[in-house]
Amino acid sequence: MTDELEVGFIGLGVMGGPQSANLITKSGRTVRVLDLDVEAVERAVQLGARRADSVAELAASCDVIFLSLPSGAHVERVVRQDGGILERGREGTVVVDLSTSPATLAGELAPDLAERGLDFIDAPVSRTREAAIAGTLSITAGGPVTSFRRVEPLLRCMASDIMHCGGHGAGALVKLANNLVVFETVVAISEALALIRRSGLAEVAVAFEALAQGSAGSFALEHHGRDALLPDEHEEGRFSAAYMLKDVGYSLDLADRLGLDLPSAKVAYELLERTIDAGAANRYHTAVSHVIDPALGEWERDA
């Protein structure tokens, strides 16, 4: 990368905000930012970013463009819309999708971008918002190795663990698999705690520590279990039930294309639908515990 390289970042939300902040403060590059949230943009500008007024403006001026958006549909829109990256991006630009998108999306966008001389890398992030703030995310990347190596120093401003997993879509696929494992583990922990709680045979806190020191110990138990399920705290502004539903849905869509039946994933999807129907769409996805154990109480309906 040259010293004159300019970086764009579209999407300054729950994860994109802190990711862009680390990029702005650590990369030593000019970073142009774009988001519908004026306050989020202003926070980035205060850190040293430059404000872009449109996708077209950002795409025409940047050598690397990061996307951190709510869904694959948003990513495709930013790329393909009139005045979007496909139309306005300059030759040699690398587009990096940090979002959790369908595993098939990269393979659909990359050829069209390549015709215009642009490269595409799918590089979704894992771990929590706290990890995004600390710059200790995990990233699984897919796409050409040469393009990946070009943007890897920038990714390291945001993540402590980065793995190139293969060609276009490989990074997205591994991220979807990760979220499937995480949520199905959250369901299992919720069921275990409900069983312990209802039986009255052991104190929940004591039983939890026994689980943590046994073979049930895991990242999900320590973070989702200890931080949310054990204290029954499922605040908004974290990885919501609605977003997890989207991701599990992407996995089920891919499984259907491949002729696979994923019975546990189907149950997980149904539980998320029930969680959302119960009024917890915007709450941390660990709120599924209230569906599993109704004795925990009902939610006030999300506005």
pLDDT, mean of residues 179-203: 98
Averaged pLDDT score across all residues of the chain: 96
Statement: residue 303 has pLDDT above 50: no
pLDDT of residue 147: 97
Please report the sign of the dihedral spanned by the C-alpha atoms of residue 269, residue 270, residue 272, residue 273.
positive
Statement: residue 300 has pLDDT above 90: no
Q: Enumerate the domain spans of the chain.
A: 6-167, 174-296
For residue 150, what pLDDT band results from cuts at 50, 70 and 90? Answer: very high
Q: Give per-residue pLDDT as tens, 89-129.
A: 999 999 999 999 999 999 999 999 999 999 999 999 999 88
175 catalytic, yes or no? yes
Residue 147: which of 155, 157, 158 has the closest Cα? Answer: 155
Statement: residue 4 has pLDDT above 80: no
Q: Strands 137-142, 159-166: parallel, antiparallel or unpaired by DSSP?
A: parallel
Total-model pTM? 0.92
For residue 44, what pLDDT band results from cuts at 50, 70 and 90? Answer: very high
Region of poorest pLDDT, from 11-15, 138-142, 296-300? 296-300
pLDDT of residue 3: 55
Statement: residue 278 has pLDDT above 50: yes
For residue 301, what pLDDT band results from cuts at 50, 70 and 90? Answer: low
Statement: residue 52 has pLDDT above 50: yes
Higher local confidence (pLDDT), 265 or 3: 265
pLDDT of residue 298: 87
pLDDT, mean of residues 242-269: 98
Query: Residue 136 to residues 113, 131, 158, 207, 220: CA-CA distances in angstroms?
Result: 30, 5, 6, 30, 16
Query: Residue 54 is which amino acid?
Result: S
Domain 6-167: give its CATH architecture. 3-Layer(aba) Sandwich (3.40)
**Cross-strand bridge partners of residue 302:** none
Fold adopted by 174-296: N-(1-d-carboxylethyl)-l-norvaline Dehydrogenase; domain 2 (1.10.1040)
| Per annotation, catalytic residue among 26, 175, 246, 266 | 175
Statement: residue 212 has pLDDT above 50: yes
